[in-house]
Structure 1
């Protein structure tokens, strides 16, 4: 066992997580959450604390073992507008708000790592930045705000961990290359001309226009995106009409689009706009297209992914560390990896048989407290491997 394992505040990590879980706050409103983090960090030695934005906290640890790189570790802190239905003893006390994505565990794990490493200043050659980020769940996201505030200035590499249920508690998945997808999409209003169903010649039927659009949109990936690239377009919503004998005036469509490559991402938007306008023009309808860009894809630099994999194996053992496939979700950690090399990892939160059968964002989302100590171990070991005095 590593000699610093005994320094991990396991009980405190659980206590911190449960406190945060009881008191969740939404994106950009994490006032009490960030103050709790700040106050907790204030009890650790050798840290310089700053507040880059109103609801974020950065702790900086400058090692005294010599000069070296600056490595950042990041945890997000915001909750979701979800009414909790999970069966835990520390349920949310804020009605309609829940830590349904595990950000409370991310904070607790990183507080644990900061606690351990702040006591090892004389063993670190370089600088560690512990970034406690607000507003991951709401575009444009807290990560971009922190980048704009200069938090990554001087940072050489950045690492992050996200907890996922339905995976062995404490296991760690590492992706090399694209780690998440970009999440874009659109909201479309088709303006036609209504009439009675018995006089369709007097109408511009928005349902007909929308139906042709749904089919035409499906050809964008198959006819424009090279087979080697990843792209998904899914129309998830189509609403029009209120009665079988009335042709409505309007129809509404919404769509989700996933890509990784930024050039393909731009191509998808370009082709969506072209297809929407051309189909509408064919039928004489007008359209109001609200195309929304979400977060870019997270890219884990292969060299850093290997380094993280090796560090995790040292502290968890080879049976708990694995090469993970890309996650088809999105994450604003991408704002960091567009600026500096980084690696984003996935921590198992527990199996379905252990009550962890509901995925992130579900009202019954649940992960096990005992998984968190492994996240802390990995974060500490990454720093020791990259900045530890030789």
Structure 2
């Protein structure tokens, strides 16, 4: 299982200048290679190397750095073409699609640059790295990270690391191959229902309410609009300072929620049944005002700004590391089906938080009822995927 560990570089002034200049140089070179690739119809990597490798060496790039620049450009075009085929950039003829396909792929000055073990070496005990730059090899560049991240780096780091610059700060993002724990035989499943009003609701009773985060998002949106409208230098400086603050808060909450769910499953020797995330934004509807979360413009912002996929990814990788069995189920009609009698009726879901079965009359929290249905479907999927233990027919 691949896990990425991010460490912060804390170089001195001379080292920081050399690394920043190097990052700008390789991304300038990547923009030039991208222009060559665009003019020649994006050839294969070997042919692109034949047209650009010598010139990259003349620009002062080392052999490995030049190879990584070419590969980075080719991978960027591969991703672009995959998005075009999948329709992620709009329909054929749309302005967004035409704009993306009609010009070379561009790289920011601080965009990530891959480093392999020939260009970068780690000294874990000293917490320093030795890194290639256009000014020569820099040794003893300090980095900082948590003790847990350092342990993962020391034991499992494998492959390339990416050097990036974000808001003037340099980071290394290392790839680690962490072995998956052996899965145990689950004693039942915990169903997880995802939403906006309640971030996650489990069939065991745990509920992560989204009220606080949604209010925080609303305050951040109002503040951004106010600063953008003001348009002064200080307002722009404040906008830059607050950039990504909201996403960091949401990421932290997703980590906490996913850790709680996986820990509970591990403690009770249960598996996790998670709903398929594909199409979740279409399934979550904004038909009526939600009290503090109106169905107007802010409701749409809340719907499309919540990181459903990130929460799902966190649950998946934490479950794999803990050895917790996990299955994905189709969530269709889970909010309309009674977990007690199985009666399906659209009218069973009275409102966002209330479920009243038209068949047996049971009253329950709507998200808790849906999570119980997801748990039941998880057991069904698990049993259907097991190998038959019946004796072979003679």
Q: Which is greater in Rg?
A: 2
TM-score range, shorter chain: under 0.3
TM-score if structure 2 supplies the norm length?
Answer: 0.26
TM-score if structure 1 supplies the norm length?
Answer: 0.26
Greater relative CO, 1 or 2 (CA 8 Å, sep 6+): 1
